[in-house]
Amino acid sequence: MAGSYAHPLFDPLRPWLDRLPGRPDGQALAALAAALPVFTESGLPVRFVPPADDGLGYERRVWARGEVETRPDNWHDFFNALVWLAFPQAKAALNARHLRGIAEVGGEPAPGQARGQARDAMTHFDECGLAVLSSDPSLFDLLRRFQWKALFWERRADVARHMRFIVFGHATYEALLAPFFGLTAKAILYPVEAACLAQAPDALRRALDGWLARDLAAGTYDAPRALQPVPLLGIPGVVAANADPAYYDDTRQFRPGRRESGRSLAAAGV
């Protein structure tokens, strides 16, 4: 399975993937976390531990104990752990925001009850999140208007030069092991300078971690609709099939989408 990591969309996790077996391994993850500690906003070192049936709940356990439930031999949890290592500030900010949401309503809602738009947005981004960076505002205009063929085919060279797609969601990483038709991420868009995109991948990842932590903590994205859908298989080079312009004519995958909401892009702070 390690060969499946060759795709560039796995690059944010590569420093850790290259140090781990080519399959989920709880002991190896725990050792890596101990050697490269990251911390919750409550100040605790993060540890990857098996699930516990103690009624505390996932988010509260992270906050109160620094324990991230990680099922052995489970790809979903394996990628969640790696995202904690790659984007520690953003993951800590997500956890803290969930805790604020729990406190606001006096506890976790009962099964089947709504958790609220803000927490739903945090879960969407945690599971399926993507950061899209661009030094060309016209490319963002096409993306936000769902002009997929114009963006990914007619402006293909510009996308390669002026855009970066950085996966955050751990469910999306799991899906990328065997990408399926219609695979869609929920994106936060960051306008940046060209010099920013020229940075080494690790430097860009660390900068993005800080931007995401800032914006997630500030409540910038307060509902799932605030996140921009992006069909991942349309990104140039993600699948061989998208080298054919006809690939983008399939509206089952490249939908016209909703009208632009008018929400302004988040400033990247660079």
Residue 261 lies in a domain: no
| Mean pLDDT per 10-residue segment, the chain (270 residues) | 74 92 89 90 95 88 95 95 97 94 66 69 96 98 97 98 98 95 96 96 96 94 93 95 96 78 42
Q: What is the residue range of 169's domain?
A: 124-249
The model's pTM = 0.91
Burial (Cβ within 10 Å: 0-12, 13-18, ≥19) of residue 71: middle
pLDDT of residue 257: 74
Residues 208 and 165 in one domain: yes
Say how many domains are in the chain.
2
CA pair distance 149, 147, nearest whole angstrom: 6
pLDDT of residue 3: 52
Hey, what are 177's tokens?
């092991």
Detail the DSSP E strand segments found in the chain. 47-49, 67-69, 129-134, 163-167, 184-191, 228-231
**CB contact at 8 A, 160 and 236:** yes
Residues 77 and 141 in one domain: no
Residues 65 and 179 in one domain: no
Residues 132 and 226 in one domain: yes
Residues 131 and 20 in one domain: no
Residues 178 and 232 in one domain: yes
Residues 95 and 203 in one domain: no
The sign one gets for the Cα dihedral 106, 111, 113, 119 is: positive
pLDDT of residue 111: 47
Residue 97 lies in a domain: yes
pLDDT of residue 269: 46
Q: Which of 110, 137, 167 is the last residue of a domain?
A: 110
> What is the phi/psi pair of residue 221, to 5°?
-110, 100
**Do the strands 129-134 and 184-191 form a parallel or antiparallel pair, or are they unpaired?**
parallel
CA pair distance 128, 126, nearest whole angstrom: 6
pLDDT of residue 37: 86
Closest by Cα among 80, 122, 97 to 226: 122
Query: Buried b vs exposed e over 78-112: b needs ≥16 C-beta within 10 Å?
Result: bbbbbbbbbbbbbbbbbbbbbbebbeeeeebeeee
Residues 167 and 238 in one domain: yes
Residues 157 and 96 in one domain: no
Residue 266 lies in a domain: no
pLDDT of residue 260: 42
Residue carrying the six token digits 């140039």: 236
Residue 205 lies in a domain: yes
Hey, what are 270's tokens?
């660079």
Residue 256 lies in a domain: no
Residue 265 lies in a domain: no
Residue 257 lies in a domain: no
Residue 245 lies in a domain: yes
| Residues in Cβ contact with 48 at an 8 Å cutoff, skipping those fewer than 6 apart | 26, 29, 30, 33, 68, 70, 81, 84
| Residues in Cβ contact with 204 at an 8 Å cutoff, skipping those fewer than 6 apart | 133, 164, 166, 196, 197
Q: Which of 76, 110, 144 is the last residue of a domain?
A: 110
Residues 105 and 128 in one domain: no
Helix (H) or strand (E) holding 119: helix 117-128
Q: Which of 78, 110, 142 is the last residue of a domain?
A: 110
Residues 83 and 141 in one domain: no
